[in-house]
């Protein structure tokens, strides 16, 4: 039996690669980011109100889940479960592909591998996005369960599968992605001995419950899963202009497919020689394991590329429809949640179409290494991001001007230190102040317009971390990086990172003292703007 025919060995290899690239995720013990600051440190009542306003009664499940995980299991539970669930999604994808004859053992291996390592959905690091990870995994589990029992789908199994799909639709983008499931059922139950029309009739008659499921969800959503007026105004409002605008599709293909590839290749450009060497070594290993010794004909490749494009589009269209482009910057990678499968297929078969077999082996391996390295780098940046946030907290604690004032204009001169060069939201900065002083009486904004907007509109919401704020004359807070640390070499920065990780885990007091040095804070009188 070859390696590719031994599923246990295949999963061991897939898990090993997946584990290695996710080490930075797994050592991110307590990092919180973006909207996480509206979760951590808040009461169950606050969370219930927040999520009920967002998704109606379905929000109660999410609020209770977050409250329990944050306060009972701890933040690290998110890391473990995110790691496990995303791998399980890959496992289910592999199993689904196993039921489709057009995919060879080699195809299943590489499609699943690219699915797991695709440089997409970096936003999984945020606690707030855990429900997306959970629901998408439920979707793939339901799909896998369906594929395994399709020809023996008795009522209890059928109901369970339908319920799982129904729950997964709470991530509404999965309603469109679900079209893939309906096509799969038609493909697997198609009888070549009868006419196409009779096949369609048989399909509708025997699968009306699966066909009607999205409709039933929409009915339930319109009754029980309605968002409040705040969210209904223009948030996630379907735009016909966006749906029928080719520019949105082109932009999504660039930001969701081309840019992640070029970003990965750019990240490894400084160590290209090393990666070429590893690509050659890995290609040799793959050849010995009979992994890269054959490929489809160009005709088959074209068909499968088109199939990959369709699946990619099904993952992107729901976000395009509401004017959101799946991209890597800031937190927009959460819109890439459903892209990895289509991405994996287009890339895998596309490379097979473009390159001859001998070159193809090395190109394929090079891309694998590039994506793995990119994954490690990007998740490491989130670790560093959290270090800088903690440095801000410690500097707040030691600053009397911040302690004794309530209103601040922030000058962030370390934005490049945060992952994706992301902008810190006002409720993040306020949350850091709350963590430092144990109260929520301070408001940090970037300018006078924000002061007037947030002060009037958002103060009543506890999750924004300034509900006890009383306005006074503003002072300016300058966030600056440590010049000595900035001037150090990459080698010394790596040593500093590893040292901080060690102290974070084993010596909390020294960690607080060391982390403070990453940032300096200067407080001045307010500017006139």
For the stretch 429-455, pLDDT in tens is 999 999 999 999 999 999 888 888 888
Task: Determine, yes or no, domain membership for 390.
Answer: no
182 with 329, same domain? yes
Of residues 352, 111, 124, 377, the one with CA closest to residue 264: 377
Task: Determine, yes or no, domain membership for 393.
Answer: no
Task: Determine, yes or no, domain membership for 112.
Answer: yes
Question: Is residue 214 over pLDDT 80?
Answer: yes
* Selected residue with higher pLDDT from 163 and 500: 163
Counted domains in the chain = 2
Q: Which residues make beta-bridge pairs with 477?
A: 410, 523
Single residue among 378, 407, 432 that ends a domain in this structure: 378
Question: Is residue 500 over pLDDT 80?
Answer: yes
408 with 337, same domain? no
402 with 328, same domain? no
| Full domain range(s) for residue 505 | 398-525
Task: Determine, yes or no, domain membership for 150.
Answer: yes
348 with 431, same domain? no
| Model confidence band, residue 526 (pLDDT cutoffs 50, 70, 90) | low
Burial of 279 (0-12, 13-18, 19+ CB in 10 A): buried
Indicate the DSSP class of residue 519: E
Task: With beta carbons less than 8 A apart as the criterion, state whether 47 and 71 touch.
Answer: no
Take residue 178 and report the two structure tokens written for it: 């679900």
Residue 405 to residues 112, 289, 395, 452, 466: CA-CA distances in angstroms?
54, 66, 15, 18, 13
For the chain, the farthest-separated pair of C-alpha atoms sits apart, in whole angstroms, at 83
| Model confidence band, residue 384 (pLDDT cutoffs 50, 70, 90) | very high
Query: Most confidently modeled of 3-12, 181-190, 480-489?
Result: 181-190
Q: What is the mean pLDDT of residues 324-345?
A: 91
Q: What is the mean pLDDT of residues 87-103?
A: 95
Sign of CA dihedral 319, 322, 325, 330: negative
191 with 252, same domain? yes
372 with 412, same domain? no
Whole-model pTM: value is 0.90
| Model confidence band, residue 1 (pLDDT cutoffs 50, 70, 90) | very low
């Amino acid at each position: 039996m070859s390696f590719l025919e031994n599923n246990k060995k295949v999963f061991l290899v897939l898990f090993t690669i997946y584990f290695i690239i996710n080490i930075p995720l797994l050592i991110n013990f307590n990092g919180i980011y973006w909207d996480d600051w509206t979760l951590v440190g808040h009461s169950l009542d606050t969370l219930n109100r927040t999520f009920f306003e967002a998704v109606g009664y379905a929000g109660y499940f999410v609020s209770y889940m977050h409250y329990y995980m944050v306060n009972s299991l701890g933040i690290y539970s998110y890391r473990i479960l995110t790691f496990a669930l995303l791998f399980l999604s890959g496992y289910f994808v592999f199993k689904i592909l196993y039921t489709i004859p057009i995919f060879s053992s080699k195809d299943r291996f590489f499609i699943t591998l690219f699915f797991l390592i695709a440089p997409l959905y970096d936003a999984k690091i945020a606690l707030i996005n855990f429900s997306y990870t959970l629901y998408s995994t439920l979707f793939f589990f339901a799909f896998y369960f369906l594929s395994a029992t399709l020809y023996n789908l008795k009522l209890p199994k059928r109901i369970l599968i339908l319920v799982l799909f129904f729950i997964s639709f709470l991530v509404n983008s999965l309603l469109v992605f679900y079209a893939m499931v309906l096509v799969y059922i038609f493909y697997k139950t198609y009888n070549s001995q009868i006419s196409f029309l009779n096949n369609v009739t048989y399909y509708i008659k025997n699968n009306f419950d699966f066909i009607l499921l999205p409709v039933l969800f929409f009915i339930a959503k319109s009754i029980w899963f309605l968002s409040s007026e705040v969210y209904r105004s223009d948030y996630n409002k379907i735009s016909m202009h966006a749906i029928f605008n080719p520019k949105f599709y082109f932009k999504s293909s660039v930001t969701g497919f081309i840019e992640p590839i070029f970003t990965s290749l750019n990240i490894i450009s400084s160590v290209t020689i090393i990666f070429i060497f590893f690509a050659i070594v890995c290609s040799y290993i793959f050849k010995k394991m009979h992994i890269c010794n054959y490929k489809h004909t160009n005709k088959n490749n074209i068909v499968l590329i088109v199939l990959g494009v369709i699946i990619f589009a099904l993952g992107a269209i729901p976000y395009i429809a509401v004017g959101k482009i799946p991209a890597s910057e800031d937190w927009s990678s959460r819109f890439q949640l459903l892209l990895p499968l289509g991405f994996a297929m287009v890339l895998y078969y596309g490379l097979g179409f473009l390159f001859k077999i001998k070159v193809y082996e090395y190109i394929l391996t090079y891309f694998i290494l590039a994506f793995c390295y990119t994954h490690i780098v990007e998740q490491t940046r989130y670790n560093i991001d959290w270090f800088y946030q903690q440095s801000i907290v410690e500097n707040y604690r030691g600053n009397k001007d911040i302690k004794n004032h309530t209103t601040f204009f922030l000058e962030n001169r370390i934005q490049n230190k945060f992952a994706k060069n992301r902008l810190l939201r006002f409720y993040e900065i306020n949350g850091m102040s709350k963590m430092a002083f144990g109260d929520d009486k301070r408001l940090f904004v970037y300018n006078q317009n924000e002061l007037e907007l947030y002060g009037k509109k958002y103060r009543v919401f506890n999750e924004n971390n300034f509900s006890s704020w009383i306005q006074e004359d503003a002072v300016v807070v300058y966030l600056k990086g440590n010049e000595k640390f900035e001037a150090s070499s990459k080698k010394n920065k790596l040593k500093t990172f590893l040292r901080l990780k060690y102290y974070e885990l084993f010596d909390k007091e020294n960690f607080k003292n060391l982390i403070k040095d990453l940032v300096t804070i200067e407080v001045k009188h307010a500017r006139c703007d």
